[in-house]
Amino acid sequence: MSTTSMFGGAAAGSLAFDRLVFGVEKAPTRSATNEDPIEARAIAAVKAGDAASYDYLVSKYMKRVVSIAWGVVRNAADAEDLAQEAFVKAFESIGRFKTGEPFGPWIYRIVTNLGLDVMKHRKRFRHEEITDAAPAERRDRTDLPAISNELAARIDSGIESLPEMQRLVARLYLVEELGHSEIAAITGLSEGTVRSHLSLARGKLKEKLADLHGGSND
Amino acid sequence: MIDDDNFLERLRADARQLRFEPDAMMSSRIAARVRERIAAEPQAGIAQILARWFRPAVASLATLALVATLGIQWAEQSHDTTTLDSMVPTQSVDISVGGDTFSVE
């Protein structure tokens, strides 16, 4: 299906269709209430059966959802599939979504859980012999032109060397710039556990990147 | 030496560039596939709408039926229960001792 057909024809006249442009994503709300009235109306319309209104939610959260997916699976093709799956899954269970709450943390949670499932599946069914070099296979730097400079590469490498949950929390905090409460909502961990993971990650990153930021772990 | 909070904040500023940005093509593909898959399940949508209405109604009716059954059963049981008063004979008993007859109630 082409982009034109995606946003044309049947979608015309749907709620907030004129706002369907990429790049409208704003920083996620930190409160538990939905501060975007268009988003709230779109959710209400989708719940009432207007599937076309879902376009607004897809376009608004597209970038962040793909980025979070990529952060977990580290592969553009898989991130694309995950993002697609997350949006479909969210649509299918929109009836259970609490009215008035922001859509962001919910869809981020769905895509994160899907990503973690993929990683578990990969670990379980990996036939190759696991070697020390195996984690490097997860990296797909050709997907990320930004990791072209030394600083970014060092930070990326530092985050990647962390244990799974510390890596996830560190990535959501450092790269996606989400707050503790948002990370807690996405991962299903308590805020205290998020802070604990972040503290452990900070210690390890400080050690690894001491020369970059002048830090030491003592 | 840099303190912990400053370290994280500086790292955060530098790590921002690690965010993956999908290009327009990828965004369009995802949006198109999502829309396609959503459109492919209209029957499921109707089923979901029906289920959304019927499930609570069926659950309410089932609860009412259960409460009614238990209520009737309890009422019947309490009606049949033999109380101590009901065991007391309502008629007097005549006892004859030495030719005299005594009536005991």
Cβ pair B49:A49 closer than 8 A: yes
Kind and range of the H or E run holding A40: helix A37-47
Of A76, A91, A176, the CB nearest to B38: A91
A156 CB neighbours in chain B (<8 A) are 18
Nearest beta carbon to residue B11 from set A87, A143, A205: A205
- A62 closest CB neighbour out of B12, B30, B38: B30
Please report residues of A whose CB lies closer than 8 A to that of B28. 2-3, 6
Beta-ladder partners of A191 = none
CB B22 within 8 A of CB A63: yes
Is a pLDDT exceeding 90 seen at residue B26? yes
Q: Which residue has the tokens 């962001």?
A: A104
Q: What is the mean pLDDT of chain B?
A: 82
pLDDT at B103 over 60: yes
| DSSP for residue A17 | G
DSSP state of B95: E
Element housing B96 (H / E)? strand B93-97
**A114 is written with which tokens?**
């899907």
Which of A156, A145, A68, A143 has its CA nearest to residue A112?
A68
Residue B75, token pair as written in the block:
């009422």
Residues pairing with B58 in the sheet: none
CA angle B9, A70, A72 (to 5 degrees): 75
CB of A86 closer than 8 Å to CB of A111: yes
* Other CB atoms within 10 Å distance of the CB of residue A189: 18
Q: Is the ipTM beyond the 0.90 threshold?
A: no
Has this prediction a pTM greater than 0.95? no
CATH top class, domain A25-136 = mainly alpha
Whether A38 contacts A19, CB under 8 Å: yes
The answer to whether A57 touches A20, Cβ cutoff 8 Å, is no
Give the pLDDT of residue A143.
55
Radius of gyration of chain A (CA): 19
Helix A54-73 vs helix A76-92: crossing angle, to nearest 10: 140
Domain limits of chain A? Answer: 25-136, 145-210
> pLDDT value at position A190?
94
Q: How confident is the model at residue A4, as a pLDDT?
A: 35
Chain B contact for A179 (CB, 8 A cutoff)? no
Contact across the interface for A215 and B29, Cβ inside 8 Å:
no
User: Is A176 part of the contact surface with chain B (CB cutoff 8 Å)?
Assistant: yes
Rounded to an integer, what distance in angstroms lies between the CA atom of residue B22 and that of residue B28? Answer: 10
User: Which among B15, B21, B34 has the least Cβ separation from residue A155?
Assistant: B15
Are the beta carbons of A51 and B34 separated by less than 8 Å? no
- Digit-by-digit pLDDT tens for chain A (218 residues) are 333 333 333 333 333 333 333 333 333 444 466 678 889 999 999 998 888 999 999 999 999 999 999 999 988 999 999 999 999 999 999 988 888 888 999 999 999 999 999 988 887 776 554 444 444 444 555 555 555 578 888 899 999 999 989 999 999 999 999 999 999 999 999 999 999 999 999 999 988 888 776 544 44
Domain ranges (residues) in chain B: 42-66
Give the H/E segment covering residue B27: helix B24-39
Query: Looking at domain A145-210, which of 3.40.1160.10, 1.10.10.10, 3.40.50.740, 3.40.50.1100 is its CATH number?
Result: 1.10.10.10
